[in-house]
A and B are shown apart, each in its own frame.
Chain A
Amino acid sequence: MIHQESFLEFLHDMIPETSDRTSIEPGTVGPCHVGSDALIGIKRQQTNPTRWIGDSWQAFADVLRENGIELRESIAARGTFATDAGGTAYGMPHGVVIARSAAQVSALLKAAQQYRVPVTVRGGGLITEGESVAFGGVLLDMTGMSRVLHIDTDALTVRTEGGIFWHSLAEELRRANMDYLSAPLNMTSSVGGTLGVGGIDVNSPRLGCSADQALALQVVTPTGDIVECSDTLNAELFQRVILGYGQFGVITEATLKIRPYTPLRMHYFYYDSLRSAIEDLQMLDKNDASDYSGILTIMDCAVNLLVAFDSDEREAAFKANWQARLRGHGEFGFALCIAGRYALRPWKLGEAWFLFRRKRELFPELQRAEYMRDGKMVDRTVVFSRAVWKFWGGKQMVIPDLATSSEKFVEAVERGNKVCRKYFPHYTLYLVGIKLRPEHKAHYEMSCIPPDAEDWAYGCEFEPMIGGHVYSRDHLQSFKNAIYDIGVDLGGSYYRFGGMMKGYIRRVFGDEVVDRHLAMKRRADPAMILNRDVIF
């Protein structure tokens, strides 16, 4: 019979060194928790962050309360933030604070430095690799800071608090007949969360990513200083916070460029070849032939090039100069092609049925009468966002992506597509270009923008349709690894390179860049408490 105490001791010894008994040196990747024989033949790059053990929690909590900061420790309050949109990383904070002001965030961070308590910042929580999941410590819910502070319709700028959802910002801007420039097609992502990550829209081929629209920020540094920064004021901080995954400060306010609102007219062209569609997309981008462009696919069977315009003049110029050069078909022509293809391959009728069903469900959603006026789409973000959640959303979403230079993009997508085919019966690819701003080169270092991209970078999301299926974490992880390995191979980058994909950071960016950023991080955040384990 085993004595209870010795059995507990035995269990204690069995806990691997990466558990919360030891802390991992920030900036390094700890050994994998999973037994070496668990995934024979598969390189495992996932790192599940260790949970912070919580030694100084009580003293820290007392200080917050003394400072009048409301700290919530109930299961209900903490459980709301147990995971992100990915639904594969799970962690519980010790407590939750709703951000209310820069001064409050500053007091929180000062106490966190003193008591070495990790602070995880969360906007919409729509990143998918656990970057906004707190593995212990405090979760700072930025949506508490959601006010629009000032709209300047002459200077075409807006000053807003950092936790605001793009949708709420659009709602206020529209009352002034204005719009933001570009934002994720996901209306409940926040401004602060997006500026730190990227933000890609179907107008990014023309206007760049959302992070490029920021003119100035108010940032609370990891040591609690409230600093205004821009490309001319405290430029180094600005460059690190933009596209910096929240490593160098909390974005509490942002000044963004805006523009007069315009509805848009959409055109769809259908391809059965990824390569031709990508070549045509890049041709349109290079020639500034459209205001919006992107590719959305149903596997690699129905490849839909979407092109849209802000004005009748731009649309007319496209029709006159570029439309005839596109190799895609109209809806009817493509239906004939598809019918011909599956008539010759009757064993693939299941796939044909899926395509038909998908199209029948999805397309009416993109053309709902209440969002159209005179054939123009009036609220593209609402339309796409609702469609994205309705048709692709769910409790678990795995969306690895690749970003490369224009030249390498076709290869990246074709290789990624093969990986999708291998792992899942149904999936979607979403491809968009990002116009780069040479003057923002310093912002792009160690970010989603690939280091070798000039003029445009191209991004592709590989999104399996999980639906009601249950896949093991290892299956999903192997899939992500296979996609990310292509990026390493091609010298690209990723939108979601943080969080659980932390294991890729040194492989992608190289030790020199990572160590330089790590040294900056250590200077800025001596206790390494802000958004721990996302990158460092």
Chain B
Amino acid sequence: MWGFVKNAFIPRRDHTDCSGCSLCLPVCPVWRQTRDISLTPHGRAKAMQQGEAVSVVAVESCTLCGACDPVCPEQIDLSGMTLKLRRQTEHPHAPALQARMDEKAAHPLTSQHAAAKWLPDQALSEHPELLARITDLLGARVTEDDGADIALALEAGVIIPAHRMQRFLAPLKGVKRIIVADGLLLKHLKKLLPAMYFVSLGEALSNHADVSHNLRATDLYVIEPRAYHSDYQRLVKHYDRLRAKHGCAFNLDLQRIAIPITSRNLPQRMGLMAHDDDAQARWALHGRSISRIVVESSEDGMALEKISDVPVVHLAELADHGVHVQA
């Protein structure tokens, strides 16, 4: 009750509150690549403070990694701001995404009961062996509906039809523990179903004793940024405990923000533009002496394999003492 009353009085912060401190710049992968302030939350907020039209504010460039959210001293939900702006912008591929969601919604589901379920992301679905290994480790059933179309629609700011959402959420009702690989989907599921227990794939696996006891002091552990930043205050402590116990390094900067490896803007996510992860991946590795890279996200793993001369393993594979990720 008191919590509710207290929260009810917290004013919602938005672009009008941006002080221009620039703390969101150094953590932003888009700024690192372009040094163009107009492609950052600072630039977007200031443009809108000057009355610039939403259609002109650069929202497609954002990768929704969420790195800017925890650093903003004005506590503006910056990735939320980007999504809100995307929702207000006409998206050329909205009809195609809508059609994909309608098609998915029309498919009947077989009912599957399980105490724990997990939702792999697109990249993991393409690695059946790894998928099976994770399923085994987590003791959770893979959901029949992975919500990949919903994740993409969320990212693009396309409205999700109610019947599609119902079809996606129905099998999750009553499940005690739901593990989600896609950080953006995880963030939204937590908001949609606050009473249920969701956990990121990275956190779930790193809490597994068979996995964590194989972490080494010479490992670079690559955190998946979206899930991490969406629950930053709690997870920064979780990973700090891992560091203290196992001595491994993380893809964290001095602010303890995760350096994204595969940062994809909207056209790249939609497959409309080629992506190039090399610069970010090189920056994450720059100056580190490590003997192995451990990834939470298989997409990150593939990008790192391209440029690294040390082995790259998925976190789940640590339970088998580190088998190579097959790209």
The chain A residue sitting closest to B241, CB to CB, is A369
**Chain B stretch 16-66: residues in CB contact (< 8 A) with chain A:** 17-23, 25-26, 35-38, 42-43, 46-47, 49-52, 56-58
Do A79 and B22 form a contact, CB below 8 Å, given A141-B37, A143-B35, A393-B73? no
The chain A residue sitting closest to B259, CB to CB, is A171
* Distance, CA A168 to CA B255, complexed state (A): 11
**Chain B stretch 184-231: residues in CB contact (< 8 A) with chain A:** none
Do A80 and B42 form a contact, CB below 8 Å, given A75-B52, A168-B26? yes
Check if A165 sits within 8 Å of B25, measured CB to CB.
yes
Q: Which residues on the A side are within 8 Å of B240 (C-beta)?
A: 369-370
CB of A469 closer than 8 Å to a CB of B: no
CB of A76 closer than 8 Å to a CB of B: yes
Q: Which residues on the B side are within 8 Å of A393 (C-beta)?
A: 19, 21, 73-74
Which among B52, B73, B287 is the interface contact of A389 at CB below 8 angstroms? B73
The chain B residue sitting closest to A177, CB to CB, is B287
Check if B35 sits within 8 Å of A76, measured CB to CB.
no
CB of A379 closer than 8 Å to a CB of B: yes
The chain B residue sitting closest to A145, CB to CB, is B35
A-B pairs, top 8 by smallest CB distance, nearest first, are: A175-B287, A79-B50, A76-B47, A389-B73, A188-B22, A80-B46, A76-B52, A390-B73
CB of A144 closer than 8 Å to a CB of B: yes
Do A171 and B38 form a contact, CB below 8 Å, given A75-B52, A85-B21, A389-B19? no
CB of A433 closer than 8 Å to a CB of B: no
- Chain B nearest CB: distance from A397 CB in Å? 8
Which among B47, B51, B237, B253 is the interface contact of A80 at CB below 8 angstroms? B47
Q: Which residues of A contact B (CB under 8 A)?
A: 72, 74-85, 87, 98, 124-126, 141, 143-146, 165, 167-168, 170-172, 174-176, 187-188, 369-371, 379, 381-382, 385-386, 389-390, 393-395
Check if B26 sits within 8 Å of A75, measured CB to CB.
no
Check if A76 sits within 8 Å of B38, measured CB to CB.
yes
Q: Which residues on the A side are within 8 Å of B56 (C-beta)?
A: 74-76
The chain B residue sitting closest to A125, CB to CB, is B20
Check if B254 sits within 8 Å of A170, measured CB to CB.
yes
The chain A residue sitting closest to B240, CB to CB, is A370
Q: Which residues on the B side are within 8 Å of A143 (C-beta)?
A: 25, 35, 37
* Distance, CA A486 to CA B141, complexed state (A): 73
Q: Which residues on the B side are within 8 Å of A125 (C-beta)?
A: 20, 22
* Distance, CA A76 to CA B17, complexed state (A): 17
Give how many A-B residue pairs fall within 8 Å (CB-CB).
112
* Distance, CA A389 to CA B25, complexed state (A): 14
CB of B12 closer than 8 Å to a CB of A: no
**Chain B stretch 237-266: residues in CB contact (< 8 A) with chain A:** 237, 240, 253-256
The chain B residue sitting closest to A83, CB to CB, is B20
* Distance, CA A145 to CA B36, complexed state (A): 11
Check if B50 sits within 8 Å of A382, measured CB to CB.
no
Do A98 and B254 form a contact, CB below 8 Å, given A82-B50, A83-B20, A369-B240? no
Check if B51 sits within 8 Å of A369, measured CB to CB.
no
CB of B236 closer than 8 Å to a CB of A: yes
* Distance, CA A263 to CA B20, complexed state (A): 29
- Chain A nearest CB: distance from B266 CB in Å? 18
Which among A126, A141, A188, A369 is the interface contact of B237 at CB below 8 angstroms? A369
Q: Which residues on the A side are within 8 Å of B22 (C-beta)?
A: 124-126, 165, 188
SS class, residues of chain B in contact with chain A: loop
- Chain A nearest CB: distance from B239 CB in Å? 8
- Chain B nearest CB: distance from A433 CB in Å? 26
Q: B17, B38, B236 — which one has the most chain A CB atoms within 10 A of its CB?
A: B38
Q: Which residues on the B side are within 8 Å of A385 (C-beta)?
A: 23
The chain A residue sitting closest to B286, CB to CB, is A175
Do A79 and B26 form a contact, CB below 8 Å, given A141-B37, A175-B288? no
A124-B22, A165-B25, A167-B26 provided; 6 other pairs, C-beta below 8 A? A80-B47, A171-B26, A187-B26, A188-B25, A386-B71, A393-B19
Show 20 A/B contacts (Cβ-Cβ < 8 Å), sorted by A.
Answer: A74-B52, A75-B56, A76-B58, A77-B38, A80-B43, A82-B50, A126-B22, A141-B37, A143-B37, A144-B35, A165-B22, A165-B25, A167-B26, A175-B287, A176-B287, A188-B25, A188-B26, A386-B23, A393-B74, A394-B19
- Chain B nearest CB: distance from A136 CB in Å? 16
Check if B19 sits within 8 Å of A382, measured CB to CB.
no
Check if B37 sits within 8 Å of A80, measured CB to CB.
yes
Q: Which residues on the A side are within 8 Å of B71 (C-beta)?
A: 386
* Distance, CA A72 to CA B39, complexed state (A): 14
Check if B256 sits within 8 Å of A76, measured CB to CB.
no
- Chain B nearest CB: distance from A365 CB in Å? 11
The chain B residue sitting closest to A397, CB to CB, is B19
Check if B50 sits within 8 Å of A76, measured CB to CB.
yes
Check if A188 sits within 8 Å of B21, measured CB to CB.
yes
Which among B20, B57, B237 is the interface contact of A76 at CB below 8 angstroms? B57
Which among A72, A126, A188, A382 is the interface contact of B254 at CB below 8 angstroms? A382
Which among B35, B42, B51 is the interface contact of A146 at CB below 8 angstroms? B35
The chain A residue sitting closest to B51, CB to CB, is A75
* Distance, CA A382 to CA B27, complexed state (A): 13
- Chain A nearest CB: distance from B270 CB in Å? 24
Q: A80, A187, A379, A381 — which one has the most chain B CB atoms within 10 A of its CB?
A: A80
Q: Which residues on the B side are within 8 Å of A175 (C-beta)?
A: 286-288
What are the interface flags for B135-152 relative to A under an 8 Å C-beta threshold, 1 for contact and 0 otherwise? 000000000000000000
